[in-house]
Amino acid sequence: MTRTFLGMPATAPKGVGQLRGAEPFPAAARRALADAQLRRNLGHATATIRAKSGAVIGEVPDWEQLRAAGSAIKADVLARLPELLEQLEAQVTAAGGVVHWAADANEANAIVVDLVRATGSDRVIKVKSMATQEIGLNEAFESAGIVPVETDLAELIVQLGDDRPSHILVPAIHRNRAEIREIFLRAMPGVDPALTDEPAVLAAAARRFLRQAFLSTPVAVSGANFAVAETGTLAVVESEGNGRMCLTLPETLITVMGVEKVVPAWRDLDVFLQLLPRASTGERMNPYTSMWTGVTPGDGPQEFHLVLLDNGRSAVLADEVGRQALHCIRCSACLNVCPVYERTGGHAYGSVYPGPIGAVLSPQLTGVADNASLPYASSLCGACYDACPVKINIPELLVHLRDQAPHPPGESAVMAAAAYAMDHPALFAAAQRATRLRRLTGRRGQALPPPLSGWTAGRDLPDPPTQTFRQWWASR
Amino acid sequence: MRIALFVTCLADTLFPEAAKATVRLLERLGHEVVFPPGQTCCGQMHVNTGYQAQAVPLVRRHARVFDPYDVIVAPSASCVGSVRHQHAMVARRAGDVRLASRAESVAGRTYELSELLVDVLGVTDVGAYFPHRVTYHPTCHALRMLRVGDRPVRLLRAVRGLDLVELPAAEQCCGFGGTFAVKNADTSTAMLADKMRHVLSTGADVCTAGDSSCLMHIGGGLSRLRSGVRTVHLAQILASTERDRAVHERAELVVRS
């Protein structure tokens, strides 16, 4: 960081990147829920991944111990993050890489754009990366006249469709193959007009398009799943091999990594490389694991830059309860099991981090006031906590963040009145009896006033009983 | 055994039949039930809506009211979950260490109904009779917070006349979630729609669960659709016997029109 830094760590800046939605979750969700195709695509895709992941997790007898180990390693990382990052910097530098520190999205974008400009290229190929989506790097490239080409198949679909990712792992989960065919026909240069919607045919079309980019672009940008402090090694796991192309073919490689991705030792990968594929894609092992340490003369990129990104992470770290959100290894298991995500999809969350983890991570990165509706985008059913391979207690975090969220004044008054009555049994009993008055309003008087009217729009209220339990008890 | 009833504010106010059934059932099994009158609400609504400070007096009240009892039961997994997983945390955050330890002690003696029956009282056949086709919805807090597992199902299997049918996608939330159903009413309704579809697919005439709140939600939807399927709390099924069902059932189980 180039500035002297005093006081509380800053949250992610406004006006850059994609951590804040244009509207609150309930409004965005309402629109998504009306999209029948979206509901069908998501229901099918999440059910498929859930079944696949559940089966391969079931094969591992020590899954719970692995989860505990993953959680413990991440807790250790967060407890001594500065020390590990400095160790990583020293090791990467010793291996011929260059380390840059970016306090926020603006700094990171400026660093990466300058590095690309210095190469003279007006095009970059990109490995699928959440960090670069978070900071809006593609938009920064476009303003600088640099063309970014997403090479992950799903990210390519999103990019060609002028769309936004809606899932951490499967960014085009909201699209089915018929829609993907249409996007390719419309936006992929040189595509065969006889393209069908067979998955193999669609993949082959993307392959032809991407090969051209791999062989002609001298700069690549990636994220990182892990960085090993003791050796200075970066790791990217993927399924397609397109990441491997980007990481090995170009002359220059620039990796943007959230600071929490560092792990202390090489052996820690043993735990995460077992947890991540089973929890995310439902594979026993991901097809491609690429690892690199600085620069190797005559082999692979001859220039390597590592950009260490904060962008609100230090602020998350400062919250003793909230910091466990930084354990996240971006597997997206919580999205796949979430009954809210399954119905609304990712765009409703407004941030590149959707679903349960997004509902606890985005508000912390931006400050809760800027994403105040997200901690409420959950029924607290707890499925996410059970699914999380690094045991992030997402329901606990949601409740913790709700306590920090600004509350509507009307609601605050009602909650205060309720709390007062509930601490005064006689008043409480009187309030209970008052619910019976609704009997007088008649059978069709079942609609409640706003803000409760949303509930009665789709459900009948029960008839209030003639007697509360405590009245019955007293009369026994 | 002397058992204190933690009635829960919802059952007390809107679903007294579930609480009365809990009393009848435990008395039938030969236990003494007491109702500490100072109880009101466990404070879960305040905690889960973001008003932890206001929940502190409610946690204090709950711990004080129930501290004298060795065994406490509630006909709700959600409210027991609140006592077990939130009370001490709320007290600790408010800086009240003594309250936290008292809350922890009370929590250790507080059981959801199926836990009390199976684990503490050691019964699975409670002598009930309920001649209906029934499907069981495991509520999220029973399933994932308390981990009651198959206890409710074991109790239901022992009920004479009861035809238990499995609920597809049973482990998915019904969409209630307390104030979630109000703040995110549309998403909640979408979740409820799928839950109702699964309930109706079983051909059951009764959907049961251990929480009145989730049953209020599912039942409210089924009633709105005039589906002819009703929701009945687990305690009411377990309290039903051949002797009293003719007297009670029609009155309390009418399908709303």
Q: How far is CA A430 from CA A426, A437, A439, A468, in A?
A: 6, 11, 16, 11
pLDDT value of position A463: 87
Q: Report CB contact under 8 Å: A435, B224.
A: no
Domain span at A448: 409-474
| 3-state per-residue secondary structure call for chain B | CEEEECCCHHHHHCCHHHHHHHHHHHHHCCCEEECCCCCCCCCHHHHHHCCHHHHHHHHHHHHHHHCCCCCEEECCHHHHHHHHHCHHHHHHHCCCHHHHHHHHHHHHCEEEHHHHHHHHCCCCCCCCECCCEEEECCCHHHHHHCCCCCHHHHHHHCCECCEEECCCCCCCCCCCCCCHHHHCHHHHHHHHHHHHHHHHHCCCCEEEECCHHHHHHHHHHHHHCCCCCEEEEHHHHHHCCHHHHHHHHHHHCCCCC
Answer whether A470 sits within 8 Å of B190, measured CB to CB.
no
Fold of B2-120: Glutathione S-transferase Yfyf (Class Pi); Chain A, domain 2 (1.20.1050)
Residue B34 pLDDT greater than 60, yes or no = yes
CB contact under 8 A, A473 and B145: no
Query: In chain B, which residues have their Cβ closer than 8 Å to the Cβ of A343?
Result: 187, 190-191
Report whether A135 contacts A107 (CB < 8 A): no
Domain ranges of chain B: 2-120, 133-252
Q: Does A382 touch chain B (CB under 8 A)?
A: yes
Q: Do A422 and B41 touch (CB under 8 A)?
A: yes
* Residue A361 counted as domain residue: no
Euclidean distance between CA atoms B93 and A207, whole angstroms: 55
pLDDT in tens, B87-138: 999 999 999 999 999 999 999 999 999 999 999 999 999 999 999 999 999 9
Q: Which of A29, A415, A423 sits opposite B57 (nearest CB)?
A: A423
* A273 in reach of chain B (CB within 8 A): no
CB contact, 8 Å: B16 with chain A? yes
Sheet holding B163-165, edge to edge: B163-165, B133-136, B206-209, B230-233
Is A24 in the B-facing interface, judged by CB distances under 8 Å?
A: no
* Residue burial A103-114, b: 16+ Cβ < 10 Å; e: rest: bbbbbbbebbbe
Q: Given A313, A338, A360, which residue is the final one in a domain?
A: A313
Task: Identify whether A63 is part of a domain.
Answer: yes
A469 to B192: CB separation less than 8 angstroms, yes or no: no
Chain A nearest-CA distance from B243, in A, is: 20
Say whether A428 and B47 touch across the interface (CB within 8 A): no
Q: Which chain A residues are closer than 8 Å to B47 by Cβ? A: 399
Q: Confirm whether A356 is domain-assigned.
A: no
Give every CB contact of residue B165 below 8 A, 6+ residues apart in sequence.
Answer: B133, B134, B135, B202, B203, B204
CATH number (3.30.70, 3.40.50, 1.20.1270, 3.90.550) of B133-252 reads 3.40.50
Q: pLDDT value at position A232?
A: 98
Q: Is residue A92 part of a domain?
A: yes
- pLDDT in the model for residue B95: 97
Does residue A26 belong to the interface with chain B, where contact is any CB pair within 8 Å?
yes
User: What local confidence, expressed as pLDDT, does residue A405 receive?
Assistant: 96
Peptide bond into A287 cis (omega under 30): no
Q: Mutation test of the interface with chain A: which of B48, B78, B90, B216, choosing the one with the most A Cβ atoms within 10 A?
A: B48
Q: Which of residues 315-344 of A touch B (CB under 8 A)?
A: 339-340, 343-344
Query: Are B216 and A467 a contacting pair at CB < 8 A?
Result: no
Residue A319 domain-assigned? no
The residues in B 131-150 lying below 8 A from A, measured between CB atoms, are 140-141, 143-145
pLDDT for the residue numbered B23: 98
Inter-residue contact B218 to B196 (CB < 8 Å): yes
CB-based contact A339 B173, cutoff 8 Å = yes
> Which residues of chain B make contact with A467, given a CB cutoff of 8 A?
16
Q: How far apart are the first and last CA of chain B?
A: 41
Q: How far B209 CA lies from chain A's nearest CA (Å)? A: 15
Closest-CA distance, B222 to chain A, in angstroms, reads 8
HSE-up of residue A406 (Cα within 13 Å, Cβ side):
8
Measured between CB atoms, which of A25, A29, A379 is closest to B177? A379
pLDDT 10s digit of each residue in chain A, 476 long?
455 666 678 999 999 999 999 999 999 999 999 999 999 999 999 999 999 999 999 999 999 999 999 999 999 999 999 999 999 999 999 999 999 999 999 999 999 999 999 999 999 999 999 999 999 999 999 999 999 999 999 999 999 999 999 999 989 999 999 999 999 999 999 999 999 999 999 999 999 999 999 999 999 999 999 999 999 999 999 999 999 999 999 999 999 999 999 999 999 999 999 999 999 999 999 999 999 999 999 999 999 999 999 999 999 999 999 999 999 999 999 999 999 999 999 999 999 999 999 999 999 999 999 999 999 999 999 999 999 999 999 999 999 999 999 999 999 999 999 999 999 999 999 998 887 776 655 555 567 777 788 888 889 988 889 999 999 999 98
- Min Cα–Cα distance to chain A from B2, Å: 16
Q: Are residues A281 and A419 in the same domain?
A: no
Q: What is the largest CA-CA distance in chain B?
A: 53
- Do A150 and A40 belong together in one domain? yes
Bridge partners for A221 per DSSP: A126, A254
Contact A425 B40 (CB under 8 A): yes
Q: Which of B214, B206, B211, B209 is nearest to B253 (CA)?
A: B206
Contacts of B65 in chain A (CB under 8 A): none
Residue with tokens 């839950």: B195
In a domain, A308, yes or no: yes
Half-sphere exposure of B111 (CA within 13 A, CB side): 20
Separation between Cα atoms, residue A432 and residue A422, nearest integer Å: 10
A137 within 8 A of A256, measured Cβ to Cβ? yes
Number of separate domains in chain A: 2
Please identify, among A313, A340, A360, the residue that sits at the C-terminal boundary of a domain.
A313
Question: Where a domain ends, among A290, A313, A336?
Answer: A313
Q: Which of B14, B45, B219 sits opposite A464 (nearest CB)?
A: B14
Model confidence at B256, in pLDDT bands (50, 70, 90)? very low
Task: Tell me, yes or no, whether A302 and A439 share the same domain.
Answer: no
Interface test with B, best of A446, A469, A471 (most B CBs within 10 A): A469
Nearest-CA distance A284 → chain B (Å):
25
Exposure letters A248-284 (e unless 16+ CB within 10 A, then b): ebbebbbbbbbbbbbbbeeebbebbbbbbbbbbbbee
0.80 exceeded by the pTM?
yes
Residues with Cβ within 8 Å of A82's Cβ and at least 6 positions away in sequence, in order, are none
> CA of B57: which chain A residue's CA is closest?
A423
For the stretch B143-199, pLDDT in tens is: 999 999 999 999 999 999 999 999 999 999 999 999 999 999 999 999 999 999 999
- The Cα–Cα gap between A9 and B94 comes to 25
User: Residue A379 domain-assigned?
Assistant: no
Decide if B251 touches A, using CB distance below 8 A: no
Inter-helix orientation angle A177-187/A199-216, to 10°? 40
Predicted pLDDT of residue A441 = 57
8 Å CB contact of B9 and A422: yes
Least confident range of A12-21, B18-27, B243-252: B243-252
- B188:A379 CB<8 A: yes
B 76-135 → A contacts, CB under 8 A: 86
Residue of B7, B13, B212, B256 for testing the chain A interface, max A β-carbons within 10 Å: B13
Interface mutation target, options A336, A380, A414, chain B, most CBs of B under 10 Å: A380
Note whether B13 contacts A418, CB cutoff 8 Å: no
d(CA A1, CA A431): 58
* CATH code at position A216: 3.40.50.10420
Instruction: Give the chain B residue nearest A461 (alpha carbons).
Output: B220
Is A420 found in the same domain as A273? no
